[in-house]
Amino acid sequence: MPEYQYLSGFGSHFSSEDARFPNALPVGQNSPQKCPHGLYAEQLSGSAFTAPRTENTRSWLYRIRPSVVHQPFKRFEGVATFLRGTGWEEQHPNPNQMRWNPFDLPAAGSEVDFVAGLHTVCGAGDVRARNGLAVHVYLANCSMKDTAFYNSDGDMLIVPQQGPLDITTEFGRLYVKPNEICVIPQGIRFSVALEGPSRGYILEVYDGHFRLPDLGPIGANGLANPRDFLTPTAHFEDRSVEGYRIVSKFQGALFVATQGHSPFDVVAWHGNYVPYKYDLARFMVINSVSFDHCDPSIFTVLTCPSNRPGTAIADFVIFPPRWSVQEHTFRPPYYHRNCMSEFMGLIFGRYEAKEGGFMPGGASLHSMMTPHGPDHRCFEGASNADLKPERVADGTQAFMFESSLSMAVTRWGEETCQKLDARYYECWQALEKHFHL
């Protein structure tokens, strides 16, 4: 059978059996006295049992051994990973515009897998209070070997920038290339295999789960369409492994337990709490066809809402290739001060508002109420351009993690990585006074 098979839809209730063992799903109930093929039934809950039906998420897994069969967890020593999930006061607050040059891949001759290559750049909130978010990068060059990882603290939205990710999950396998994303919800175990040096970004949310944004006046269709989200089908391995490692991220720290078998032994499953991937090229762009510049919220792919209506813990926003046709309009992003935090990354190409300095594999952070906008070159060019219909961002994919929380930068992000561009502010200094009495 093909290695990668998917089910289409977002927020759906799926059912899947490995084709090698048909009829592995119990009929008419979730937890029979004896499951088919001698399997164990195990429920994975992504919400409280009593959550409203529209928000209730859970899946039933039918596996060769229950996941409780492992040795006690211990602190995961000997990894250089820099993770945060609480205690964001390690650095003095810094309101300046920040831009990072591309983060370094591991040095040749070293072996750094996905877990060891995780580094927190910024974030806010507290994993123990289940409120907040963190932004990480991963910088890796080898596959995880007999190791699985799961995040007890929240969902992870993964944005590959260099190199595809071959991800094995308890639900099946995902192959995620640059310009695709995947979401691994809280608690789901996965392992990442690489084809070479790999780099990317991760948005982690501590409370709630990602969902599609409401469309309002847009109507029933547009932006990211539910049918384009893909969930893997069941694909199990029955493999005994001495000392297989299960790494848990718990309260921002890493722990490891060992067991004698692969955790990817789920023969069948059903539910609506699943990992999934999405191709950003399938995003249906909405934009102005008359005048003025729409707010970037029209480019929201996924959102994790807060308790305040219309306000997000985190939005995932992209700036895809599109037509620009506005008349009498300064077409690039306008100058702006925002009550939200904006972390931007570049997957490939050249971002339209800052064609120099903002590089693939790098990032920027514009904190709450810190002004930002096009650099001098972009402003002058757009202010004097012939306003014909034109293509924007061809060969480019930039994105933004936007949050209602004020994010603090970690010591790794501000100092250790040595990628912070101290001259970023200079890109605006040449902006001239054009006003005359």
Question: Is the pLDDT confidence value at 316 over 70?
Answer: yes
Q: How far apart are CA 137 and CA 117, in angstroms?
A: 8
Which among 249, 280, 311 is the end of a domain?
A: 280
> Residue 289 domain-assigned?
yes
Instruction: Summarize pLDDT for 137-179 with one digit per residue, the tens.
Output: 999 999 999 999 999 999 999 999 999 999 999 999 999 999 9
- Cα separation, 228 vs 292, in Å, equals 30
Q: What span, in angstroms and rounded, lies between the C-alpha atoms of 20 and 268?
A: 10
The H-or-E segment that residue 377 falls in is helix 376-383
Residues 143 and 56 in one domain: yes
Q: Give dist(CA 144, CA 95) in Å, integer.
A: 37
Which pLDDT tens digit goes with each residue over 234-283? 999 999 999 999 999 999 999 999 999 999 999 999 999 999 999 999 99
Decide if 324 is inside a domain.
yes
Contact call for residues 379 and 299 (beta carbons, < 8 A): no
- Which of the following is catalytic: 293, 328, 434, 436? 293
The residues, any chain, with a CB within 8 Å of residue 113's CB and separated by 6 or more, are 140, 142, 143, 144, 145, 147, 192, 194
Q: What are the pLDDT digits (tens) for 380-407?
A: 999 999 999 999 999 999 999 999 999 9
Q: Tell whether 261 is covered by a domain.
A: yes
Q: Cα torsion for 329, 332, 334, 337, to the nearest 10°? A: 170
Q: List the beta bridge partners of residue 186.
A: none
Q: What is the pTM of this model?
A: 0.97
Asked, for residue 367, whether it belongs to a domain, the answer is yes
Say what the pLDDT of residue 1 is.
42
Distance CA 141, CA 362 (A): 18
Do 270 and 289 belong together in one domain? Answer: no
Pairing between strand 198-205 and 155-162? antiparallel
According to DSSP, residue 382 is labeled H
Instruction: Check whether residue 276 and residue 299 sit in a common domain.
Output: no
Instruction: Give the domain-ending residue among 254, 280, 306.
Output: 280
Output the six-digit token pair for 65: 């051994």
Please tell me whether residues 368 and 410 are part of one structural domain: yes
Active site residue 434: no
Residues 297 and 252 occupy one common structural domain: no
Q: Is pLDDT above 70 for 80?
A: no
Q: Which domain holds residue 405?
A: 283-427
| Whole-number Å distance between alpha carbons of 408 and 411 | 10
CATH number at residue 162: 2.60.120.10
Structure tokens at 82: 């820099």
Helices and strands of the chain, counted as H and E runs: 2, 28
| HSE-up of residue 431 (Cα within 13 Å, Cβ side) | 15
How many domains does the chain fold into?
2
pLDDT tens, 33-74? 999 999 999 999 999 999 999 999 999 999 999 999 999 999
pLDDT at 351: 83
Mark whether 99 and 145 lie in a shared domain: yes
CB–CB of 213/302 below 8 Å?
A: yes
110/18 same-domain check: yes
Residue 342 marked in a binding site: yes
Q: What percent of the chain is modeled with pLDDT above 70?
A: 98
Residue 92 resides in a domain: yes
Residue 435 lies in a domain: no
pLDDT of residue 313 exceeding 70: yes
Residues 22 and 47 grouped into a single domain: yes
336 appears as a binding residue in the annotation: yes
From start to end of 118-220, where are the E strands? 118-126, 131-140, 147-151, 155-162, 165-169, 172-176, 180-184, 190-194, 198-205
